[in-house]
């Protein structure tokens, strides 16, 4: 298996988009598609679609980061409580007025106002565990 944060031979961060619909979903999708270092390997409508990933696409072990557009951030927390291994989640909340990075323990890092630039910077910087 490849190092976390890279697809074999490409150096790309592999992400799954969750609930990325509407205007904010379009902004998120556009931002990540414009960044050549980010590969969207799966996109699901909501948390229920995450359970089907192993059957319909890459498993969670093959995803470096989940980008989740959620109206209720507690959905991400509840999902992490039931999921092993813990993937990282970048949650866009309140139509992008707030964003947070959840990782491993789970650990939440407040990111502030979400912009396309911040989105891609966080994906690239935080998808790979620190050495």
Spans of all domains in the chain: 13-126
With 0-12 CB in 10 A as exposed, 13-18 as middle and 19+ as buried, what is 106? middle
Q: Which of 60, 57, 55, 70 is nearest to 20 (CA)?
A: 70
pTM of the entire structure?
A: 0.66
Q: Domain 13-126: which topology?
A: Rossmann fold (3.40.50)
pLDDT at 20 over 50: yes
Tell me how far apart the alpha carbons of residues 83 and 122 are, in angstroms, rounded to a whole number: 22
Kindly report which listed range (32-41, 43-52, 73-82, 107-116) carries the lowest average pLDDT score. 73-82
For 30-69, letters b (16+ CB in 10 Å) and e give ebbeebeebbbbbbbeebebbeebeeeeeebebbbbbbbb
The per-residue pLDDT for range 58-107, each reduced to its tens digit, is: 777 788 888 988 877 788 777 777 766 666 778 888 888 888 887 666 56
C-alpha 6, offset from chain centre: 14
């Amino acid at each position: 298996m490849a190092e976390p944060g890279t697809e074999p031979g490409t150096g790309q961060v592999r992400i799954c988009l969750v609930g990325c619909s509407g205007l904010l979903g379009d902004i998120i999708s556009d931002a990540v598609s414009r960044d050549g270092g980010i590969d969207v390997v799966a996109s699901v409508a909501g948390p229920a679609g995450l359970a089907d990933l192993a059957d319909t696409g890459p498993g969670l072990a093959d995803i470096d980061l989940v980008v989740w557009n959620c109206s209720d951030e507690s959905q991400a927390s509840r999902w992490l409580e039931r999921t092993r291994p813990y993937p990282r989640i970048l949650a866009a909340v309140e139509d992008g007025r707030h964003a947070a990075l959840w990782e491993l323990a789970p650990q939440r890092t407040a990111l502030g106002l979400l912009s396309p630039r911040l989105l891609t910077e966080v994906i690239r910087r935080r998808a790979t565990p620190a050495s």
